Structure formats: structure tokens, C-alpha cells
Amino acid sequence: MTAQPTPTASSLTERQQPPADRWSLVVAAGLLSFVAMLDMNVVNLALTDISAGLHVSPGVAQWAVLGYQLPLVALLLPAGRWLDQVGTRSALLLAVGCFALCSVLAACAPWAGWLIAARLLQGAFGAVLFVLMPVLAATSVRPELRGRAMSVPATLGPLGAVTGPVIGGLLLDHLGWRAIFLVKLPVCLAAVLIVRRHAPRRGGLRPPDRSSLGDAALIGAAVAAVLLGLTLAPKSALWLLLVLPAVPLVLLWLRRPGGRPVAEVLRAAGTAGVNASVLALAAGFAACHYLLAQHLRGPRGESATATALTMLAFPLGMVLAGRVGGRLADRWGARPTALTGAAVTTLGLALLVPLDTGWSAPEIAARLALAGAGMGLNGGPTQALVMSASPPGKLATAGSAVQLARSLGFALGPALATATALAGARDTTGTRAGIALAALVAATAVALLALHRRPRP
């Protein structure tokens, strides 16, 4: 799924009108979108190999994914505020260079702590990239060409999601898990060369202000508390008490300058339920995706390539259905289309609950494709639903709230699935319990969208 516009997009667009169209920079934005989506899909596939290679439990290996998603969620909005104050070119070169360096550090990890630390750093720079991708595309061409420019990262992002598992499967089978962190380096290098040559030199770098750092600390601490509680819960239910501090931390953030605009937009637009549905659907998908990958690599003993080809059905279904989702929304309306998509995804996940080792790959792939088609139908119309309800002048803030909800769902889903599956059993029965919970979480998205009513002006 592609990153949505962030709070910086409109301000940077107004500040940086290009003297001429720079399509090379639009291509660079597309390359970075490809890398970001590839990274979010390929590491899940390697968790079994990482667990065996570093001699750690599956729960610890899972932090190779969670360690990336945690700072990504925590820094998404603070990164936007920081980027309002610095030059796009300088920030982009710093973020891409450090993102690539963290990939090298992850590939060289001699133990799990090293790998998790590298992924935490990579997630921090990944947050900057997620903010800058749409900004780079929008500010590199004339206003009348921005729709065409934005379609480049919007297309290459899903392409990374589709090809990521296949590329990862081939690398895992022939070169090992460390190679999946290095495959992104050529693309990062190409983006750096394009930006260095074609991006205008405007502005420098400065440290983030204390307010942004405080916002990041509050969001990060809240997400970390939830992830730790869910990850450790199979050992003892008492670990779930770690989730409790997340509530006051989020409430405190909503009263600060960084969270107050988001709270005001959600209140004025009446879209808190819609954003909650985005979080629920993303969490349900991420939970099922994680459990299926572990099931195929574990009890079924499938190769990484065979697993990748089976899992490919989901993003393919998502990409194909996403192309018609916008047209259906224009004809039916955004809410009915988004509601239909959430229901289709829930149905696809529910059909996976009776999972058995005797199922063939096409049987699993067909259910995944159905769930993916629902996600494709839901994504664009949900975004349109939020944007159409947004107060004037607050479109970017509304869009960033959707992106934050989606990223949070992707981070929480695997941890929630692991807690449920391991609490039940380590075999197919535990996996079924986790997928059942994923379907139930997705069903809450259906209920939230069904209950949504646009507030009266």
C-alpha cells in the first residue's frame, strides 16, 4: 500500500514551485516508494530463517519487522513537522543514505540485538522517506501535472508489494536471509544519484525541535507498550498490563501541539470511526499475512519461493481491485464501496480460518486473492471518504491521520496474531485461532463503516 500525503505536502508545494518539470525526481520518488513497499513485505517472509540463523525464538525474530514499524509509526507526524523547516534535497539525501546504511548493518547482524537496533534506526529514516515521497513528486512538476506525477509512486509502490515476496523467496532459497536487506541498495543508490544531480539546493538541515521529539516519544512509548504486552503475553497474561500505559500516553499526545490538530480534524469531520476502521482492517490483514507465512514455512515445510508465490495472490488481488475501486466509488459513493471492500476482506480471512496442512497452494491463494480484492476496493474510497469530510484547509492533516492509522494497524497485527496463536498452540490449531481473531478484527472495520454518518454542517 502506498504512503498517503502528509502534513508537509501542501506547505512544501507552495514553497517550492519548480521552474521546469523534473520528471527524473518523480522517478526517484517512485523508486523510493518501490523500496518502502518491498521492505514492508519481504522481511515477514524471512522471519523463520532469521529465527534459525540467529538462534532466537519466533517472538524475538518478529522484532525484525516490529523494530522497523515502531519508529515508522512514532515519527510519521513529527517528521512532517521537521521537514517543514528544512530543505527537501538535504533531508532526502540524509534519509536515503542512512536507510541504505541500516540495510547493510542489518545484513551484517551477528546477533538479534544488533539486527533489531539496525531495524529501529531504519524505521526512523523510513518515516522521513514516507513523508518525502509524495512531496518530492508533487513539487517536481507544474500544478497541472501533479496528478500524473503522483501516479508514479502510487503505481511503483504496489509493484514493490507484488514483487517483494517473489524476490525475497528467490533470495532466501539461494542466498539466505541476509541478502533480503541488501537487495534494496541498488535502488537507493539510483535515487541518491538522481536527487544529487537534479534536485535544487534549497535550505539545509537543522535538528528537530523539542516539541516534535516529545510527540515522537509519547507515540513511540504508547506503541512500544502495546507491542511488548502482546509479544510477551503468551508467557504470562500479566504482561498484558503493559498495554495500560498506552492510553494516558495517547491522551497526553492529543493535548500537545503535535496531536491537537489531528484531534480537531477528527472531531470536526466525524471520521474517527473511519480511521479506526482503517486500523482494524490493516491489523487483520497484517495478522493473517504473518501467520500464513509462518504456517507455510513451518508445518507445511514450503520453500521460500513457493511461499512467496502463494502469498503473491493477496497483493495481486489488491492491485487489480484497486483499479476499479475509484470508479465504483464515483458511481456508488465512497462509503458503500469502502464498506463492500471491508466485507470482502473479512470474508476472505474468514474462509482461511479452517486452515489445514492438506490444503493446496491454489486453495490458500484463492482466499488470499479475495481478501486482497477487498483491501483494494476499500483503500481509495476510504481515503476519499475522509478527505471529503475534512474541514477546509485540513486535507493534509486528514490524510496523515489515515496513514498513521494504517501504519499502526500493520504494526499491531502481527503482534496480536502471535499472542493469540502461541497462547493456543504452536501448530495449525494456534494458527487457526490467530486467523479467526484477524477475521474478527477485520469485521469490526465493517461495523465501523456501517455506523459512519457524515456530520451535519
| 248 Cβ contact partners less than 8 Å away, ≥ 6 residues apart | none
Q: What is the pLDDT of residue 106?
A: 94
Least confidently predicted of 2-16, 202-216, 418-432: 2-16
Q: What is the pLDDT of residue 14?
A: 42
Note the pLDDT tens digit of each residue in 268-277.
767 788 888 9
Q: How many CB atoms lie within 10 A of CB 323?
A: 11
Q: What is the pLDDT of residue 5?
A: 42
Is 214 a residue whose pLDDT tops 50? Answer: yes
Q: How far apart are CA 453 and CA 457, in angstroms?
A: 12
| Higher-scoring residue by pLDDT: 185, 82 | 185
Average pLDDT score, the chain = 78
> What's the confidence (pLDDT) of residue 10?
40
The region of weakest confidence among 49-53, 109-113, 146-150 is 146-150
Task: Tell me the pTM.
Answer: 0.69
Is residue 350's pLDDT more than 90?
A: yes
Class of domain 260-457: mainly alpha
Segment 356-363 shows an average pLDDT of 83
Segment 216-227 mean pLDDT? 82
Q: What share of the chain in percent tops pLDDT 90?
A: 14
Mean pLDDT of 107-130: 90
User: What is the rounded distance in angstroms from the CA atom of residue 239 to the CA atom of residue 231?
Assistant: 9
Q: Is the pLDDT of residue 219 over 70?
A: yes
**pLDDT, tens digit, for every residue of 224-253?**
888 778 777 767 777 778 888 888 988 888
* Cα–Cα distance, 270 to 454 (Å, whole number): 7
User: What is the pLDDT at residue 176?
Assistant: 87
Does position 396 have pLDDT exceeding 60, yes or no? no
Distance CA 57, CA 47 (A): 10
* Average of per-residue pLDDT across 392-411: 71
Determine the average pLDDT of the residues in 382-406. 71
| pLDDT value at residue 444 | 93
Residue 185 carries which side chain, given as an amino acid letter?
Answer: L
Span 63-74, average pLDDT: 83
Q: Is it true that 1-208 and 260-457 share their CATH fold?
A: yes
User: What is the pLDDT confidence band of residue 16, given thresholds at 50, 70 and 90?
Assistant: very low
- Comparing 109-123, 278-292, 425-439, the range with the smallest average pLDDT is 425-439
Other Cβ atoms closer than 10 A to 240: 14
The letter for the amino acid at 200 is P
Distance CA 71, CA 99 (A): 13
Backbone angles phi, psi at 51, to 5 degrees: -60, -45
Mapping DSSP onto H, E and C, the string for the chain reads CCCCCCCCHHHHHHHCCCCCCCHHHHHHHHHHHHHHHHHHHHHHHCHHHHHHHCCCCHHHHCHHHHHHHHHHHHHHHHHHHHHCCCCHHHHHHHHHHHHHHHHHHHHCCCCHHHHHHHHHHHHHHHHHHHHHHHHHHHCCCCHHHHHHHHHHHHHHHHHHHHHHHHHHHHHHHHCCCCHHHHCCHHHHHHHHHHHHHHCCCCCCCCCCCHHHHHHHHHHHHHHHHHHHHHHHCCCCHHHHHHHCCHHHHHHHHHCCCCCHHHHHHHHHHCCHHHHHHHHHHHHHHHHHHHHHHHHHHCCCCCCHHHHHHHHCHHHHHHHHHHHHHHHHHHHHCHHHHHHHHHHHHHHHHHCCCCCCCCCCHHHHHHHHHHHHHHHHHHHHHHHHHHHHHCCCCCHHHHHHHHHHHHHHHHHHHHHHHHHHHHHHCCCHHHHHHHHHHHHHHHHHHHHHHHHCCCCCC
pLDDT at 349: 93
What are the extents of the domains in the chain?
1-208, 209-258, 260-457
Q: What is the mean pLDDT of residues 381-386?
A: 76
CATH of domain 1-208: 1.20.1250.20
Q: What is the pLDDT of residue 231?
A: 72
Grid coordinates given for 78: 513529527
pLDDT recorded at residue 155: 60
The residue ranking higher by pLDDT, 399 or 76, is 76
pLDDT band at 101 (very low <50, low <70, confident <90, very high): very high
Residue 279's identity, in one-letter code, is L
Q: Residue 322 pLDDT > 90, yes or no?
A: no
201 or 344: which leads in pLDDT? 344
Which of 124-133, 146-155, 258-267, 443-452 shows the lowest per-residue confidence on average (mean pLDDT)? 146-155
Among 409, 441, 416, residue whose Cα is nearest residue 40: 409
pLDDT at residue 173 in the model: 81
Is 87 in contact with 203 (CB distance < 8 Å)? yes
Higher pLDDT, 314 or 454: 314
